[in-house]
Structures are given as structure tokens and as C-alpha cells.
Amino acid sequence: MHRSGPSYGNRPGLVQRLAALLIALAFVHAPALAVAADRPIKIVALGDSLTAGFGLPTNASFPAKLARALQAKGYTVGIANAGVSGDTASGGLARLDWSVPEGTDAVILELGANDMLRGIDPAVTQAALGGILSKLDARHIPVLLAGMKSVRNFGSDYAKAFDAIYPALASTHSVVFYPFFLDGVANDAKFNQDDGLHPSAAGVDVIVARILPQVETLIARVRAARGS
């Protein structure tokens, strides 16, 4: 099943490979410490335009604001923005190996919104997300899975099938689960840009505040794996 419709951002040519280069540079410039347990935690935010920060200055994107919120709490972290506008779950799976480079400590996975807006078969989306989680598990990289919910335009059957994707994945993979990435933001004009799809800077603040406890749990998993 596939329907045309709006998407979370457009997918410009070469954006994915440029994003990968920026991720690598972000990690290269992260300060290195001698003790492995104390070195900065390198997180990749793998997503679509909701992660990329469509329509916002770079410093107002979700990864940038989340990094500052964590640093304000005393965490030594770097968050690479691997958001590609217009990307689907299948697109994320296809670029996973170079979007999540060696040395990544954890991943925040936010994909599926464009699948939903395009009416892609939920089984296809679930298989792609499951493939991402399986690959990251094989690399021993802990994941925070950020869920998405369907608009109701495609009918109750589609919405039910799509909404079930993320809880099902969370039940079969050892992830930190945040059920709805746009919790507190979706359908609220004061937290969205004029398109009604992408969070404003104020909306990103809401997302960061609400997801922060789960990100701290993700960091705790990294620290536990390091033995610190």
C-alpha cells in the first residue's frame, strides 16, 4: 500500500553523504580523554527532517538542543546530526553503515514519519526499522527508539497497523523506548512551523525536555557497557 502525500522535508541529492561526512567530522573533533570510561559519549541521531532541523538554524535542531541540555546536566556528550529530510525507514536502513560510523556509542532512532505520510505499508516500515535495530544490536550499540503515530487520514485500519509498529519493536528488541517523538508538540500550532508538520524552535524545546529522561537512560547503558 502506498499513497502520495506530504512528507517531513524534501530529500535533496547528496545530502546523505554530506551528512555522513559531517558526522565523521563531529566525532573527529570530539575531545578525547585517556580513560575509556570517561571519554565523551558519542551519540548519533538517525532520523528524517524532524531530527535534521528542517526550517530551523543549525543550533536550534533537536540534536543541538539535546546536546546542550545534557551538557548543562554535566554529561560529556557529542551528538551527531544524521537527520536527512524526506528520509524513510528503508532509506535509513540503506545508509546505516555510513551514517553510524565506527566509534558510535549510542543511537537515537527517529524514522517512520515519512513512511506514514506517504501511506507506505506498515509491514515495510516495521521490517526496515527492525533491520536497523538488528544491525545496531550486532554492533553492540544501544538504541533509543523514538516512536511515531499515524495521522487519521488513511483510515482507522492503517492508523492501527502503523501505531503498532513501535511498541512491537520495543517488545522484541532491547531498546530504550520513547513512544511518540512529537509528544506535546503534534497538532499544537504554537509549537510548529507554518506547515503544521515541523516543530518550531519552541517545539524542539518541548521534545528535548520530554525525551531527556530516556536519553539519560540510554547514556546509563553506555556507561554500564564501559564498566564505569
Q: Which residues are annotated as catalytic? A: 49, 195, 198
Residue 215, Cβ neighbours under 10 Å: how many? Answer: 22
**Which grid cell is 178?**
520513547
For residues 213 and 84, what is the distance between their CA atoms, to the nearest angstrom? 25
Alpha helices in the chain (DSSP H): 15-28, 49-52, 62-72, 89-94, 96-99, 113-117, 122-138, 156-163, 165-172, 201-226
**Which grid cell is 109?**
532512532
What strands, in cross-sheet order, belong to the sheet with 77-83?
A: 77-83, 41-47, 106-110, 143-146, 176-178
User: Directed axis angle between helix 156-163 and helix 122-138, to 10°?
Assistant: 10
Let me know: does 137 contact 75? Beta carbons within 8 Å: no
> Looking at residue 219, what DSSP letter applies?
H
Vertex 126: Cα angle to 151 and 94 (nearest 5) = 110
